[in-house]
Amino acid sequence: MCGRYTLTTPPIKIRELTQVKTSLNTPPLFNVAPTQDAPVLRVKKGSSQLGMLRWGLIPPWAKDATIASKLINARFETAPEKPSFRTAYRSRRCLVPADGFYEWRSENGVKQAFRIGLQEGKVFAFAGLWEDWNRPAGPGAAEEVLETFTILTTQANQKLTPIHHRMPVIVSPSNFDLWLNGEPDETRMLGQPYPSEEMIYYRVSSRVNNVKNNDAECVAPLTSAV
């Protein structure tokens, strides 16, 4: 599972990773939570674009937006067949830039938060899916189109298994084009756990437990990185 993540990398580094001509001038995001907007790379109108989408996928057939809280993640193994995700898997795959994500485990009866990322704090990208959803027009209001996304997860690698049995699918830059533009069957090989030796993690404070907290203290290490 992935329920919180970070994107504190300067916009120019995100542009270099995604190879798009324009960047989003977003402030550092120390505690991205479901229902919040975050940068997403996708192919739209024939070109790769960075846009701000809402985390928590809403399928086109949904009657209301409440389903989004249940669809912040999709299992890579079953997404191509699940009704909520199969259409997006075929034609609306995306990449979600990040430089860390949070996970929790119980230690001495207390849920301890960990920030997990790549060696040297490198920016990377999760595999994701996106959808358009038309919010019905209310009294005196026009119909609104919401663009939403979900993050795909897979079995955790050996390093992260002691913290959680699942982890987000991380796509290597060399496979960005395959994920965004390849045939669905061709992309199935990308769901493998990211290599343990390229990842690190460390304990952080309980500030990340509150979605209202979005500052550098959320990512401050309590212990050395492993």
Active site residues: 2, 103
Q: Give Cα separations from 185 to 80, 128, 153, 167, 174 (angstroms).
A: 9, 16, 17, 22, 18
> What backbone torsions phi and psi does residue 11 show, to the nearest 5 degrees?
-55, -35
Q: In sequence order, which residues have a C-beta less than 8 Å from that of residue 47 and are 6 or more positions away?
A: none
Q: How far apart are CA 4 and CA 168, in angstroms?
A: 11
Q: In sequence order, which residues have a C-beta less than 8 Å from that of residue 99 and are 6 or more positions away?
A: 6, 7, 8, 9, 117, 118, 121, 122, 123, 124
Q: Dig out the tokens for 105 from the structure.
A: 């485990």
Query: Taken in order 50, 55, 57, 60, is the CA torsion positive or negative?
Result: negative
How do 73-75 and 29-32 pair as beta strands? unpaired
Q: How far apart are CA 99 and CA 28, in angstroms?
A: 11
